[in-house]
Structure 1
Amino acid sequence: MSEEQEQRRRVRSFVRRPGRLTPAQQRALEDLLPIYAVPDDADTLDELFERPAPLIVEIGCGNGEALCWMAAREPHANFVGIEVHEPGVGRLLRGLEAAGLGNVRVAMRDAVEVLQQQPEASIDMLRVYFPDPWPKKRHHKRRLVSPAFAALAARVLRPGGRLHLATDWVPYAEWMHDVLAEQPALENLGGPDVVKPDWRPETHFERRGLKRGHEVRDLLYRRRPDVECVGPPGC
């Protein structure tokens, strides 16, 4: 089987659900995405910025509310937001322009594929906030956090880099904890639940979950500098 065929067969952690674009979001995609977009042929995410700075990647940044908030409060860092939902990306782009944020770039692609293209030890922090929990057992194979993802995160994180996750689905938090515990290159910094760090704002998905009576869990890991990652891909 060719690499292209294998990519088509891979089970993804998301479904491209069609969403209705507002005229403003459509204009943002047409006019602003070329300015902020991560090119498909970019060798590294670092090269997208004109300055050396800590690189923070948010996977599944939704409508960009949290990403804009974090980028404005951490101007010393470079941010890359990854999101496939077009209306959300349109809203994110409008937020970036309105706030005049120059330290953010946007990848409208599969996050796993973006990370697979990155060199080893090239990212300072990965942030994954409220990914789809795929609660039905038959859909668990679609969950983003898996042994392969844990290995991939360990590969791209710099020594001492952090992996921060949050979810409002307690069974998924327990799943994350169990999966990540099997990756020796990632050190648990206090899970299965840590106090929400100051750098994470309350998100739209979080507020919605809390209104439904869900409990929010934060998990935080450090890339061990003296331990090799194990498992696929490419460790």
Structure 2
Amino acid sequence: MTDGQERAWADLAGHYLLEAPRDAAATSIRPGSTIDPHGVYGREAALIAEIGSGQGHAIVHAASTRPDDDFLAIEVFRAGLARTMLDADRAGARNLRLIEANAPEALQHLLPEASLDELWVFFPDPWHKTKHYKRRLVTAEFAALAATTLKDGGMMRLATDWEEYARWMREALDAAPDFERAFDGDWADRFDGRFVTAFERKGARVGREIRDLTYRRRNRS
């Protein structure tokens, strides 16, 4: 990390960072480490989590413009989390928390069942080589974990600039029994709450079309 990111980590982690017991790896979550969101945020409010928050541009913008909601950033790269803390502090976004963790383990072991109002997956790594498809985040197994943490009627919002991966995600979620499409046609309209990041602008400049997907968690029987 840069010196500024190191200082941000030292000065701001006490408020923003959620510490969790680790399992085998530094970014793993030990089973049974479930948090109480109301206790973490000190209130009852809608909870939105972003997986792969990167440097935090999207979630800091959302948290700073939606003070009545609570936000959780899930990211494995510490430098990105440090930048997120720094920007959140500058923006006065006190309704944001961060966890340094592998996303599936955070969903499985950290978040209680039916605790999320929304789950965001914006521009996940497409792992575009066929031999790397097994590393892709959005799969049938991921859909099952997401369904567990989302409330009935909760929304999962996704976006990618890689067409083949967009189709892959759509196929996986169309087949997921706990989700239904919340859009008509081939793709969802662009989510108004998704901040246009530098990454997205760069993709647009080289001609990559952004494709959005939105799925609703079906009611539990």
Asked if structure 2 preserves the Cα contact closer than 8 Å seen for 1:161 and 1:222, the reply is yes
Flag the 1:81–1:45 CA change in 2: closer, same or farther, 3 A.
farther
Aligned amino acid, residue 215 of structure 1: E
Mark the runs of 5 or more structure 1 residues left unpaired by the alignment.
1-20, 228-235
1:35 aligns with 2:26: no
Structure 2 Cα separation of the partners of residues 66 and 158 of structure 1: 22
Per-residue deviation, residues 142-175 of structure 1 (Å, max 9, x unmatched): 0000110011111110001000000000100000
SS in 2 for 1:32: helix
Aligned sequence identity (%)? 43
**What code does the residue aligned with 1:149 have?**
F
- 1:214 pairs with 2:194: no
Partner of 1:140: 133
Aligned position for 1:102: 94
AA of the residue aligned to 1:195: D
Matches of 1:54 and 1:226, distance apart in 2: 19
1:183 pairs with 2:176: yes
Bigger shift: residues 110-119 or 142-151: 110-119
Q: Which consecutive unaligned segments of at least 5 residues does structure 2 have?
A: 22-32
| TM-score, normalised via structure 2 length | 0.90
On the 8 A contact 1:165/1:220 being kept in 2, the answer is yes
Which whole-Å CA distance do the structure 1 matches of 2:75 and 2:160 have between them? 17
* 8 Å CA contact retained: 2:64, 2:88: no
Indicate conservation of the 8 Å contact 1:174/1:192, yes or no: no
Which residue among 41, 45, 50 is the counterpart of 1:49?
A: 41
Measure the CA separation in 1 of the matches of 2:100 and 2:13.
9
Moved over 3 A (4+): none
Whole-angstrom distance in 1 between the partners of 2:174 and 2:142: 13
User: Which of 36, 59, 74 does residue 82 from structure 1 map onto?
Assistant: 74
2:72–2:99 Cα contact (<8 Å) kept: yes
Q: What does 1:157-172 align with in structure 2 at a 5 Å threshold?
A: 157-172=150-165
Instruction: Name the residue aligned to 1:10.
Output: none
Q: CA deviation at 1:192?
A: 3.7
